[in-house]
């Protein structure tokens, strides 16, 4: 068995994970956001729609991500479907940290992204692991470190 299959043992194939998120984005778009989970559901995490600025194109790019609430901040993992490499949305945020989040039942609001480090990263990682006990196992299959991304609300300005 090749290394890719060995590393993904216990996970659906990468094509399936990426396809499932594409379907979820389409359902989100078609439903106006009504098909998003809330953090209070049985999974313990919610889903948000994040709009970033493309690092090369400068165009808006949308993605649906799982998140946890940490006070006023939203926390997500830049896991790329547990595949190698960083997801495009994280590379976009690394280049342009200002973005827009849309949660079910709320108006879109601006955020600034940053990577959690040190004790904060450890604490937030443990929160994810308590919600999904497979988090450490899945992350161990990747050579790429998984950034813990904090989305901090920022003031709404007149220009958006």
- Name which of 43, 115, 50 is nearest 77 in CA terms: 115
pLDDT band at 155 (very low <50, low <70, confident <90, very high): confident
Q: Are 44 and 75 in contact (CB under 8 A)?
A: no
Mean pLDDT of 2-30: 62
C-alpha span between 149 and 160 (Å, rounded):
22
> What does pTM read for this prediction?
0.80
Write down the mean pLDDT value for the chain: 84
The b/e string for 70-83 (b: 16+ C-beta within 10 A; e otherwise) is beebbbbbbbbbbb
Work out the widest C-alpha separation in the chain, in whole angstroms: 56
pLDDT band at 33 (very low <50, low <70, confident <90, very high): low
Residue % of the chain over a pLDDT of 90: 52
Is the pLDDT at 78 greater than 90, yes or no?
yes
Q: Residue 47's pLDDT is what?
A: 84
Number of Cβ atoms within 10 Å of the Cβ of 157: 7
**Which domains, from first to last, does the chain contain?**
3-153 (2.30.110.10)
Question: In the structure encoding, which two tokens stand for residue 34, read together?
Answer: 């009504």
Question: In the structure encoding, which two tokens stand for residue 67, read together?
Answer: 């998140």
Is the pLDDT at 145 greater than 90, yes or no?
yes
Mean pLDDT of 93-117: 94
pLDDT band at 149 (very low <50, low <70, confident <90, very high): very high
Residue 151 neighbours by CB under 8 Å, 6+ apart: 50, 67, 73, 74, 75, 76, 99, 101, 111, 112, 113
Q: Residue 21's pLDDT is what?
A: 66
pLDDT band at 4 (very low <50, low <70, confident <90, very high): very low
């Amino acid at each position: 068995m090749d290394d890719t299959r060995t590393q993904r043992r216990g996970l659906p194939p990468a094509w399936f994970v990426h396809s499932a998120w594409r379907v979820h984005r389409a359902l989100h778009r078609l439903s106006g956001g009504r098909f998003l989970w809330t953090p209070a559901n049985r999974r313990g995490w919610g889903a948000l729609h994040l709009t970033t600025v493309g690092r090369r194109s400068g165009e808006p790019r949308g993605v649906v991500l799982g998140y946890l609430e940490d006070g006023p901040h939203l926390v997500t993992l830049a896991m790329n479907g547990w595949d190698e490499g960083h997801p495009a949305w994280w590379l976009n945020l690394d280049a342009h940290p200002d973005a827009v989040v849309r949660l079910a039942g709320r108006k879109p609001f601006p955020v600034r992204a940053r990577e959690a480090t040190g004790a904060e990263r450890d604490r937030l990682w443990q929160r994810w692991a308590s919600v999904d006990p497979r988090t450490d196992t899945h992350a161990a299959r990747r050579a790429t470190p998984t950034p813990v991304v904090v989305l901090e609300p920022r003031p709404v300005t007149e220009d958006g």
